[in-house]
Chain A
Amino acid sequence: MRLRYTLHLVGILTFYLGLTMVFPLLFGLYYQDESVVPLLKSIGVTLAGGLMLSLVFRGARGETMTHREGMGVVALGWAAAGFFGALPYYWGGVFSGFSDCLFESVSGFTTTGASVLTQIEMTARGFLFWRSLTHWLGGMGIIVLGLAILPIVGIGGMQLYKAEVPGPAPDRLKPRIKDTAMVLWKVYVLLSAAETVLLMAGGMDLFEALCHTFGTMATGGFSTRNASIGAYNSPYIDTVVIIFMLFAGINFALHYQFLKGDRGAFWRNSEFRFFIGIVAIFFLAVTFSLFGTVYDSLGNSIRFSAFQVISIITTTGYVTADYEMWPSLPQVILLFCMFLGASAGSTGGGMKCMRIMLLLKHTYKQMFSLIHPRAVLQVKLGGRPVPDDVMHSIWGYFVLYIGLFILSAFLLAAMGVDVVTSFAAVAASIGNIGPGLGMVGPADNYVHIPLLGKWLLILCMLLGRLEIYTILILFVPEFWRK
């Protein structure tokens, strides 16, 4: 791999990341809080760092990009974003150590929403806005944003796009990758604008509406309140957030087709039907187990069940109820939702419904061929056969995901974290959800995890967001060989 060229591009990305820090600065200035100076310092350092990287390695410009370099740029670009994104917290003294700052920053960019911030309302608004903005940038992808608006790459665009938006079968909405990225961001901005307006209509001010929109549309989960969305205790806000969490969990290609006037776009898509079906089943199951046991009224059962189920399955991680107080069936369902995740091509994390659906179809095919040994069978998706190598890579991904989950849970348990917390914290980090169970449940946060454990979870979040391969490949020696 040509490291110089890779670092040149990472430098450009970092530079533009520095520019995005101007938005929280504006809020800091407006509210006259103590975030102004740390943000200014961060902007300066990030811009200078990016500029230096790109200038020092300028010589390698104008070459075409290989697959390997595409993955390198994305992996290192995300690492750089996590690092520079942590600077405002560090200089602002929001956390005691840099590890916590990095945890919060990576959690933001990967749209996990796992927080180590204990006194949210006391924190300066400039920092809170940056925290939510990292969600929004990371949700659709910093590289995809770069492809859409920055003149950084021509020919290597496809390699970058594939490394950040791996998915089982990436949709190409337009012949050119730049246009595809542009379309995705337009849909993203449009939906975000709609939610902001609706939240403001529900009584939030612009700052809070924007922060929660960023958390919803990116399926992140950072809030400006300690009690998350639950702090507002408003059925209207709950409903708006539920609807937009669902939107964010659906393949954005379908939103685009729908907005272009194709009314049947959603229902024709088999992954969408699968996703909605699962949501409906889990919602009903949780509602029934809550009704009469936790909540006396059916209305409340429906409201809290719908919010929690959709929040977890779309990997958002907002909460309106402490589900650890619920019976065990809803808790198990929510834990399962963490693995399942949202649709491919959405901003959500997890293993993605598309993969689970294809794995189920494939498994059924295996059983069917035991009954009819001579049957010629093909796994189909939307009427089209799924190529064998795609099927293999999905199985590979499944095994890797579970393997990573088990290994990380072992390591976390070895650091002295209890059983439930180990499993839930890892699941919630790889799946980019945020709140888990036990010590990291909806009413607690990640501040009590040991230092080494936080670094492990940082890695898990990055692995989960970039669908494992892109990050994991950095640890393969062959990758660095010339």
Chain B
Amino acid sequence: MKIVIVGAGEVGYNIARRLSMENKDVVVIDKDAAALRRVAENLDVQAIQGSGSSPVMLEEAGIKAADILVAVTDSDETNLVASLFCNILSPTTMKLSRIRGEEYLSHEEALNQPPYSIDVIINPEAEAVKKVEGLLNLPGAVDVGEFAEGRIKVIGIRLDANSPVTGTKLIDLRERTKSKQILVAAINRNEELIIPSGKDELLEGDLIYLVSEEKNAKDALEIFGKQDEPFKKILIVGGGNLGFKLAKALEGYPIHTKLIEKDVARCNMLAQALNKVVVLLGDGSDQELLREENVQSMDLVATLTEDEETNVLISLLAKQMGARKALTRISKFSYLPLVAAIGLEHVVSSRLAAVNTILQYIRRGRVLSAMALKGEAAEVLEAVALETSDIVGKPISQIPFPKGALVVAIIRGDKVIVPTGDSGILPQDRIIIFSALKAIPQVEKALMVKLEYF
């Protein structure tokens, strides 16, 4: 399995990191020597300096033997040209390309056709907006992933001191959760991932991941004391690409939305394009303006400017002034744990969204979808149990799954089963597996999914 990544920025770096940890052959191309050095020194991947759009560089990187090309430079044009030459040099290689410009995205179908034949176009902002929408539907959660066409939800919630379950052992919790088919699949405690057993206790500050059927998701939040009022009033700070896309999406909900942007020309453009959203001209860090616009009665303040440090400060300010929740846009992955520590639960990152989407497509084949968890120590995979696989036809407790992997749900036709040790898996069942990053290669083996990356 060989993957060529064009672009050693934050997205390229993190994809390379994840894949190299899974023992895949990864080659990274970038023009910038400093960015490349970071890759070469920290990761077990091959780093080549040069322009990723150059066919010579692509050949040198071994594109002809590569299964996948991931073009994720900051420049759409470079990504397009890299995909173009990849298609010429090696048409069978699967091409994933990050495209952000609206003018290109409006012709998405054309890019899927020859001469480009890009298999997957990733628009990070659109992915981020999708993620935010998921959170809007479950206001208490800090992370939401959907599986089996949305029938199963993986929900991340942060436990605080007054949650009714804080201090309870999981085994005692089982009575209450069993009837609703809710499973605590993982605990993220102090940035360490625990796949829990019945004896584990839930503590304040834990980020726990629940697996639940969609119809029970609200009940699940209630059991864990996170049943929040739905969002009715939202203030967006920053009318850039992401702010605009989110505002546009929110017009489809019964939500009153305001948007603050400090550039006049941009405001005019936004006002033209948006119908229900109130566009305000001003600086989001201006306390007077925030008070004027009733920030204290807001359900959610989303700070989405290009400058992440500003976002963090405005989010803190808004929360301090009384806003119920804040959603903060972060670009640097290394800030993610820090931001949770200072009390900003809801984080959106278009880059993280892009990484997740790309990983999901890389795992195509028998794996249907995937979700990377916060802190990045684990992934949730959805797969079909093959008849030939080792996992079929015996109780789960006897399946030779590696440490750190757990079957959290079985979907058989219309039925969703939250398994116990005795449950068995039948052929053609769809199973959802929670796996620590290190165990993923073994999980793939156990599934007999010689993952058909094509």
Residues of A within 8 A of B (CB): 67, 154-155, 157-159, 172, 174-179, 387
Contact = CB atoms under 8 A, between A and B. Distances in A.
B41 A176 contact: no
B166 interface: no
Contacts of A175: 2, 25-27, 45-46
Contacts of B44: 154-155, 157-158, 176-178
Interface of B: 2, 20-21, 23, 25-27, 33, 40-46
A159 B40 CA distance: 10
B437 to A, nearest CB: 12
Nearest to A66: B41
B33 A176 contact: no
Contacts of A179: 25
A177 B21 CA distance: 12
B20 A158 contact: no
15 contacts: A67-B41, A154-B21, A155-B43, A155-B44, A157-B44, A158-B44, A172-B46, A174-B25, A174-B46, A175-B45, A175-B46, A176-B23, A176-B25, A176-B26, A387-B33
Nearest to A172: B46
Contacts of B46: 172, 174-176
A378 to B, nearest CB: 15
A158 B43 CA distance: 8
B302 to A, nearest CB: 35
Contacts of B42: 155
Contacts of A387: 33
Nearest to A159: B41
Contacts, number: 33
Interface centre among A157, A176, A179, A387 (most CB of B within 10 A): A176
Given A158-B41, A159-B41, A176-B26, 16 more contacts: A154-B44, A155-B21, A155-B43, A157-B44, A158-B40, A158-B43, A174-B25, A174-B46, A175-B25, A175-B26, A175-B45, A176-B20, A176-B23, A176-B45, A177-B44, A387-B33
Nearest to A161: B44
A387 B36 CA distance: 14
Interface pairs A-B: 5 shortest CB-CB: A175-B25, A175-B46, A172-B46, A175-B27, A177-B44
B13 to A, nearest CB: 14
Contacts of A178: 44
A155 B20 CA distance: 9
Contacts of A159: 41
A160 to B, nearest CB: 11
A387 B41 CA distance: 17
Contacts of A176: 20, 23, 25-26, 44-46
A172 B33 CA distance: 17
A449 B2 CA distance: 55
A88 to B, nearest CB: 36
Contacts of A177: 44
Nearest to B17: A155
Interface centre among A158, A159, A175 (most CB of B within 10 A): A175
A114 B20 CA distance: 42
Interface centre among B21, B26, B45 (most CB of A within 10 A): B45
A165 to B, nearest CB: 14
Nearest to B4: A175
Contacts of B21: 154-155
A157 B45 CA distance: 10
Contacts of B45: 175-176
B183 to A, nearest CB: 28
B1 to A, nearest CB: 10
Nearest to B61: A175
Contacts of A174: 25, 46
Contacts of B33: 387
B359 to A, nearest CB: 18
Nearest to A153: B44
Contacts of A67: 41
Interface centre among A159, A174, A178 (most CB of B within 10 A): A174
A17 to B, nearest CB: 24
Contacts of B41: 67, 158-159
